[in-house]
A and B are shown apart, each in its own frame.
Chain A
Amino acid sequence: MMRSMLIISRQGPWSGPSAREALDIALAGGAFELPLGLLFLDDGVFQLAAAQQPAAIEQKNLSANLQALPMFGVDTLYACARSLDERGLDAGSLALPVDVLGEDELRALLNRFDHVITL
Chain B
Amino acid sequence: MATLHLLSHSPFDDGRFASCLRLLERSDAVLLSGDAVYALQPGSAPQEALVGLDPSIHVFALAEDHVARGAIPLATRVQLVDYPEFVELCGRYDRVNSWL
Contact = CB atoms under 8 A, between A and B. Distances in A.
A116 B25 CA distance: 15
A90 interface: no
Contacts of B19: 10, 41-42
B55 interface: no
Chain B interface, >50% SS class: mixed
A111 B25 contact: yes
Contacts of A10: 16, 19
A107 B96 CA distance: 14
Chain A interface, >50% SS class: mixed
A111 B15 CA distance: 22
Contacts, number: 36
Given A42-B15, A111-B3, A114-B95, A82 B22 contact: yes
Nearest to A86: B15
Nearest to B26: A107
A87 B8 CA distance: 25
Interface of B: 1, 3, 15-16, 19, 22-25, 94-100
Interface of A: 8, 10, 41-42, 82, 103, 106-107, 110-111, 113-119
